[in-house]
Amino acid sequence: MASKVNTVQSIIQDAQQAQYAPVYFLMGEEPYYIDMICDYLLSHILSDDQKEFDQMVYYGKDFERGAASIFTAARQYPMMSPYQVIAIKEAQLIKNLEEDLAVYYQHPTPTTILIICYKGKKLDKRRKLATQLEQTAVVFESKAVRDYEMHAWIEQEVRARHFRIDQKACSMLVDYLGTDLSRVASELDKLSIVLQGKSSDITPEVIENHIGISKDFNNFELVNALTRKDVYKVHRIAQYYARNPKEHPIQLLTVVLYDFFSKLLIYQYLADKSTSAAAKAMGVAAFFVKDYETAAKFYSVRKILDNITLIREYDAKSKGFRQTALADGELLRELLCRLLA
């Protein structure tokens, strides 16, 4: 079990075949997969009747000074089941957790299954404990999904729910929800329920009606309008944003704008502008490359550099540096005008 790379799928498949490890050490930046694995194991290892006697869930906030008492409980034997299942959620809050686990793991109880959720941190691989766990336990690292990976992640989740989603709808979700996988999954579940038996397509209209994101005034449409230098549409979106500054703070929009123009600068300097090469160099999904190809016709390298300087300048102004009396909404409108000039 230790020689292979543990994935969500492999861990769940092993559990479905009743192949359990004495310890599941679930760690890393992304809590979504840690919770998914933990919840699956807690739901499936024991029956509902067995859980009452032989399943315990502890929380790190209640054991900040040490987990010795939890590991004492782990040494007990099950009462009504083949296994005793113990989960420690938010285990990263426990002081000296690795030391306490190392002591327990010298003589682990064979009928105890220990699930440790170690969010936002990783096991210190320099210690002996890491080597021991990799030999006989399941060590899983849940890595954060990056911005440029979110489109593919959403498409995969949508397919798993037996639906389809178009590029614009997908981008609306990415812009609005970011990389919060739990929140994205929750919204997709809601849309799945709404569309059940009605349609298999998640469209911008569906997202607008049921999540509340405007299909016409969002970051995807703004960048798309900048790409084509559609002055009229950029100003319409700018006016909408200026009327709704809390929903569209300039500090977040400057990040979006900087990302667009910095990637466009990379594209302009590429020797190989083929779709696959450009997508890899810019860190974007392949279907976005055509947008940068279009934008490159309207923005020279000199203009792109000037725009990046402007974005930095207005980001600083929005945070109070050499600020005038302009409100954030007016700052944004002024910035967009200058980006198009």
CATH of the domain at 195: 1.10.8.60
Domains: count for the chain: 3
Cα separation, 58 vs 67, whole angstroms: 10
Whether the predicted pLDDT of 3 surpasses 50: no
**Judgement on whether residues 12 and 97 belong to the same structural domain of the protein:** yes
Percent of the chain with pLDDT over 70: 98
pLDDT tens, 205-253? Answer: 999 999 988 888 999 999 999 999 999 999 999 999 988 888 888 988 9
pLDDT class for 327, splitting at 50, 70, 90?
confident
Cα separation, 160 vs 183, whole angstroms: 17
**Mean pLDDT value across residues 166-187:** 92
Cα separation, 105 vs 22, whole angstroms: 9
Domain boundary among 155, 187, 210: 210
Q: Is 2 within the bounds of a domain?
A: no
**Mean pLDDT value across residues 65-92:** 93
pLDDT class for 335, splitting at 50, 70, 90?
very high
**Judgement on whether residues 164 and 238 belong to the same structural domain of the protein:** no
Task: Transcribe 2-60 into DSSP letters.
Answer: -SSPP-HHHHHHHHHTT---SEEEEEES-HHHHHHHHHHHHHHSS-HHHHHHHEEEEEG
> Looking at 91-100, 227-236, 324-333, which range is the least confident one?
324-333
What sign does the CA torsion over 218, 219, 221, 226 have? positive
**Judgement on whether residues 125 and 21 belong to the same structural domain of the protein:** yes
pLDDT computed for residue 113 by the predictor: 97
Q: For residue 170, what are the domain limits?
A: 147-210
pLDDT tens, 30-44? Answer: 999 999 999 999 999
Burial category of 138 from C-beta neighbours within 10 Å (exposed 0-12, middle 13-18, buried 19 and up): buried
**Judgement on whether residues 64 and 185 belong to the same structural domain of the protein:** no
Whether the predicted pLDDT of 323 surpasses 70: no
pLDDT computed for residue 5 by the predictor: 80
**Judgement on whether residues 62 and 134 belong to the same structural domain of the protein:** yes
pLDDT tens, 96-141? Answer: 898 889 889 888 999 999 999 999 988 888 888 888 888 889 999 9
CATH of the domain at 295: 1.20.272.10
pLDDT computed for residue 246 by the predictor: 84
Whether the predicted pLDDT of 325 surpasses 70: no
pLDDT tens, 45-56? Answer: 999 999 999 999
Q: In the predicted model, what is the mean pLDDT of the chain? A: 91
> Looking at 62-71, 155-164, 230-239, 322-331, which range is the least confident one?
322-331
pLDDT computed for residue 132 by the predictor: 84
Whether the predicted pLDDT of 338 surpasses 90: yes
